[in-house]
Amino acid sequence: MLRADPWRRTTRQRRADAQAVMRQLVAIRRRHRITQETVADRLATTRDVVSRWETCARQPRLGDLLGYVHAIGARITIVETPARPA
């Protein structure tokens, strides 16, 4: 029997991960009392686009995600995980 590769993520798992991250970012935005409109203005986009990102109806490009994070006064920290076994 083949063992599942723990490093391989299904589409559903990746979507769930993205939703969890966005929930955390939205919580930060709300704690800072920043509206979607304000985020949109800071990113030169529309409130509808920001709403779609926050509801995971659309995934932002990496640059847009980093801009969103900056616009809400947050920071992303990269944590190295153990190396993938050969």
86 in a domain, yes or no?
Answer: no
* Nearest-angstrom CA–CA distance, 34 and 23: 15
Closest by CA to 55, choosing from 15, 33, 22, 14, is 22
Q: What is the tens place of the pLDDT at every residue in 23-41? A: 999 999 999 999 999 999 9
- Give the CATH number of the domain where residue 33 resides: 1.10.260.40
55 in a domain, yes or no?
Answer: yes
CB within 8 Å of 16: residues ≥ 6 apart:
none
45 in a domain, yes or no?
Answer: yes
Q: What is the tens place of the pLDDT at every residue in 46-64? A: 999 999 999 999 999 999 9
Domain count, the chain: 1
**Confidence (pTM):** 0.82
Per-residue pLDDT for 84 more than 90? no
Domain with 48, as residue range(s), is: 13-71
8 in a domain, yes or no?
Answer: no
> What value does the mean pLDDT of the chain take?
91
22 in a domain, yes or no?
Answer: yes
Token couple for 48: 């509808």
Q: What is the pLDDT of residue 57?
A: 95
Token couple for 35: 């509206």
